[in-house]
Structure 1
Amino acid sequence: MADSDALGDMSLRELQARLPGLLVFQSVAQHLNFARAADDLRVTPTAVSKAIKQLEAQMGIRLFNRNTRSTSLTEAGQRLYSNLRPALKQVSYSLESAASDTEHPSGLLRINTSFVAYATLIEPHLADFLASHPDIRFELSLDSTLVDIVESGFDAGIRLGHALQRDMIAAPLGPPQAMVAVASPDYTAANGRPSHPRDLLAHRCIRQRFSSHTRFFEWTFHVDGKPVVIDVDGPMVVDEMRVATTAAVNGIGIAYVFRRFVDSHIATGALEVVLERYSQPRVSFHVYYPSTRQMPGKLRAFIDYIRAANRQSP
């Protein structure tokens, strides 16, 4: 077979013969590493290499360029991967959906979220969730950017409600989050405390930028019943809220963060909330997943568990 597009003309018998090799190919193409694919499939690297060689021989094309240092897809391999991945994903979802009502959900659950959402909503409850569902394997991707969860192969994402992708089913996850400005006692002792949001224009502020965008994260406050955005400036720009928090603790300047994310620092006195009366009205994180797919049992179990755990959290 001279071209990967000819897969659509296969007989059922031919497809049955090649399906095991196609599953191995999909894993190698995803990882671009034979050892990682072997670990993912729970077989030996030798078995993976043998399956790829057999598939290439059956199809009459070379799928990978590989040497001792790297593995990459050939043009034909890339075309096959692009066509195969959505088809296999749909098969996977169909099988998982059929078993979604079983008492023992299983499989690999891939979640994409920000560190803030993970630290406040998932991490405190993850050990108990995995202990309650021993057949679920959990894969987490922490990313401050908005990725296409379908294109990237994630089962679900967690983001603020206003940042959700289109054509997604979404549900609120955890209590509303308040944004606050915080500074260390050393900073306020040396520079004073702002009494109005506009006073921030004269302070050293730690700005945050989404790494895939040029715009800065807006500092929004509630003044006289209306939202007011302050265009702050300062000595430092970061793309992670945990870095902004650490910088504020170290006295570099004022940070604008989720209150729940810095509660422990406030409790110990490492940080103080400033301008609390002007804090922005609360926003909520949402868990979201593709609306065109039925929810697999592993995802249903995760959403139900994490939502219930966060409703019970103080």
Structure 2
Amino acid sequence: MQSTSSGHNPALLPGLSVFVTVARNLSFARAASELGVSSTAVSKTIKQVEAALGARLFNRTTRSVSLTDAGSQLLKTVEPALASVDSAIDQIRSDYDQPSGELRINSSHVAFVSLIEPHLTEFLRLYPALSVEVSIDNVLSDIVGVGFDVGVRLGHTVQQDMIGVPLGLPQHRIVVGSPDYFRQHGEPKEPQLLIAHTCIRQRLHTRGQFYEWVFWVNDRNQQVNVTGNVIYDEMRAVVSAACKGVGLAYVFRQFAEKELAEGKLRAVLEPFSPVGEPFYLYYPHRTHMPAKLRVFVDYLKAKCP
């Protein structure tokens, strides 16, 4: 079989699909019906393919259509190749329609414990074809750059080019301490008095800034520069240290509810607690959202309205 051109010719691809349809039906009329075009259009396309290849692909008579040797040779190669392309396209569409594969989530520990962990088992039961990888840290990761599908952070930390979905109630920050600590050192009655207390500080990540102790005073936010001799980079450790009487802690109320209910911690300065903000589930803008991401977003929105 001679070729009038060398190399890959993208213009041939639609014509090759028409060729396979005609070869499968051995009828221009039936192929035209299957493709939803006229017999004339099919005949014209086949002639263009034959001209491009420099070979006759079909023997045509008024009564029958059969493959030439060149046509048979081409069909053996092209038909499985086009089937592979169709299969790949179907798989891509399936990935966007049917939730499957791995969903990679980046979250702070507080957000994970409060919003994701309580619902993860049920989510995986509902979508058994999905697997979930959760990375927990306090670093404000570039989720696209490091390959995550979705992140969960407080609203003010979410990048502006992301789509953000609020989850759950606003997270209110409070000062807590153990009963033993208050018996020994007393309770501060206003935020500025915290500078006389031992406070457990928290870094946002290993080399990051300290978590700010902010209070609502005289209709505005006011930061108090507390001091203390213990620093953690994770709020769970902060709560645990406060329960042991190490010092006062500044935490999300929802994160310390259990310890507060059990009497291990007591909240102070609540009238000065700043206006809370919710956590946000965020992800990059996509015209076609993968099914694994869509079902996760919808599920958490329903569970954490």
Scaled by the length of structure 2, what TM-score is found? 0.68
Alignment correspondent of 2:235:
241
- 2:145 paired with 1:140: no
SS of 1:248's equivalent in the other structure is helix
Which deviations, in whole Å up to 9, do the C-alpha atoms of 1:171-210 show, x marking residues without a partner?
Answer: 1112111001100111011110000001101000011112
Instruction: Look up the match of 2:255.
Output: 261
Residues 212-231 of structure 1 correspond to what in structure 2 (within 5 A)?
213-231=207-225
1:232 corresponds to 2:226? yes
Partner of 2:48: none
Displacement of 1:101 in angstroms is 6.6
Deviation at 1:279, TM superposition (A): 0.8
**The residue matched to 1:235 in structure 2 has which SS?**
strand
- Distance in 1, matches of 2:255 and 2:131, equals 26
The 3 A distance-change label for structure 1 pair 306 and 96 is farther
The DSSP-based 3-state class of the residue aligned with 2:242 is: helix
Name the counterpart of 1:209.
Answer: 203
Question: Aligned in 2, Cα 1:243/1:297: closer, same or farther, shift over 3 Å?
Answer: same
Which residue of structure 2 aligns with residue 290 of structure 1? 284
- Matches of 2:149 and 2:268, distance apart in 1: 39
Give the residue type in structure 1 aligned to 2:169.
P
Deviations 1:284-313 (A, max 9, x none): 1101111255321111111111121123xx
Q: Give, in whole Å, the separation in 2 of the partners of 1:207 and 1:285.
A: 21
Extract unaligned runs of 5+ from structure 1: 1-9, 13-93
Over 3 Å counting, the alpha-carbon distance change for 1:204 and 1:97 in structure 2 is farther
CA displacement, residues 138-182 of structure 1 (integer Å, 9 cap, x when unaligned): 110001111111111100111111111242111111211100110
Rounded to whole Å, the distance in 2 between the matches of 1:290 and 1:111 is 13
Q: CA deviation at 1:280?
A: 1.2
Deviation at 1:137, TM superposition (A): 0.5
Deviation track 1:199-246 (CA, whole Å, cap 9, x = no partner) reads 101000011112254421110111122111101001111111111111
Q: CA deviation at 1:281?
A: 0.7
Question: 150, 153, 157: which one pairs with 2:147?
Answer: 153
| Inter-CA distance 230–301: structure 2 relative to 1 (3 Å threshold) | same
Residue of structure 1 equivalent to 2:44: none
3-state SS in 1 of match to 2:227: coil
CA RMSD of aligned residues (A): 2.2
Partner of 1:125: 119
Give, as a single letter, the amino acid of the residue that structure 2 aligns with 1:296. Answer: P
Query: Quick one: structure 1 residues 205 and 306, their matched pair in 2 at CA, closer, same or farther if it must change by over 3 Å?
Result: same
C-alpha displacement of 1:282: 0.7
Whole-Å Cα distance in 1 between the matches of residues 134 and 178 of structure 2? 32
User: Normalized against structure 1, the TM-score is what?
Assistant: 0.66
Matches within 5 A, 1:12-27: none
Q: Name the count of aligned residue pairs.
A: 221
Query: Which amino acid in 1 is paired with 2:171?
Result: Q
1:188 is aligned, of 182, 192, 200, to 182
- Tell whether the 8 Å contact from 2:152 to 2:280 is kept in structure 1 after alignment: yes
Q: CA separation of 1:95/1:298 partners in 2, compared to 1, >3 Å: closer, same or farther?
A: farther
Letter in 1 for 2:148: F
Equivalences for residues 31-50 of structure 1 within 5 A: none
CA distance in 1 between counterparts of 2:195 and 2:295 reads 47
Percentage of matched positions with identical amino acids: 45
Q: Would you say the 8 A contact 1:245–1:262 is kept in 2?
A: yes
Contact 1:144 1:210 in 2 (8 A): yes
Instruction: Select 1:98's aligned residue among 84, 93, 100.
Output: 93
- The code of the aligned residue for 2:93 comes to A
CA contact (8 A) 1:97 1:297 kept: no
Cα separation, partners in 2 of 1:11 and 1:159, compared to 1, 3 Å: farther
Aligned to 2:172, the other structure's residue is in SS state: strand
Distance in 2 (CA, whole Å) between partners of 1:296 and 1:307 is 17
Aligned counterpart, 1:300: 294
Mapped to 2, the partners of 1:166 and 1:282 lie a distance apart of 20
SS in 1 for 2:173: strand
Q: Deviating runs (4+, > 6 A) in structure 1? A: 94-97
Q: Which moved more, 1:212-221 or 1:257-266?
A: 212-221
Q: Is 1:275 aligned to residue 286 of structure 2?
A: no
